[in-house]
Amino acid sequence: MSVTTTNPVLRVAPADPAEAAAYFRASLAFHADVSDVAAALAADGDPGFVLVDTRSTESWDQGHVPGAVHLPTALVPEQAGRLLDPAVPVVTYCWGPGCNGATRAALALAELGYRVKEMLGGFEYWVREGFAYETWQGGERRAADPLTAPLDAADCGC
């Protein structure tokens, strides 16, 4: 057997460079990571997008990103026009990587004509990377999880 058929990584050959570049460029058009969102929100001035928490009211009350707009996924069709400016890009998030609520909300927003990205990692990784968040009781911040966040969460080197 050749290496490419026995090696689980190479069982399916890597894409040609042009196809790979197109795929990864497209991925970046659809996704933003927690650190990039945090850096954009922390910078002086308008970040150029609105961050939307797509979780339930109970989840929102337990904790959310400061400055986010609360718009549960199920309410996007009826409330997006009232809460969001169609000219401003939207970044959605839900609980974490195991939840597709932000993906479903992003789809609903795109179908309504909004330009939208999804924040990878969701609220879970926001907290795990050590960024401040708000609860119904006020602001909080946990120490960064060393298995999740780089030593300097603002610059992981990538």
Is 146 within the bounds of a domain? no
Tell me whether residue 1 is in a domain. Answer: no
Q: Is residue 71 part of a domain?
A: yes
The range of the structural domain enclosing residue 113 comes to 32-134
Following CA atoms 121, 39, 71, 67 in sequence, which dihedral angle do they give, to the nearest 10 degrees?
Answer: 140
- For residue 20, what pLDDT is reported? 96
Per-residue pLDDT of the chain (158 residues; tens, 9 = 90+): 455 578 888 888 999 999 999 999 999 999 999 999 999 999 988 999 999 999 999 999 999 999 999 999 999 999 999 999 999 999 999 999 999 999 999 999 999 999 999 999 999 999 999 999 999 998 988 988 888 876 654 556 66
Identify the pLDDT of residue 157. 63
Number of structural domains (the chain) is 1
CA distance 19 to 10: 17
* 10 domain residue, yes or no: no
Six token digits for residue 94: 């839900």
pLDDT computed for residue 149 by the predictor: 75
What tokens appear for 96 in the block?
A: 């974490």
Residue 153 falls inside a structural domain: no
Could you tell me if residue 77 is inside a domain? Answer: yes
Residue 81, in any domain of the structure: yes
Contact 80, 72 (CB under 8 A): no
CATH number at 75 reads 3.40.250.10
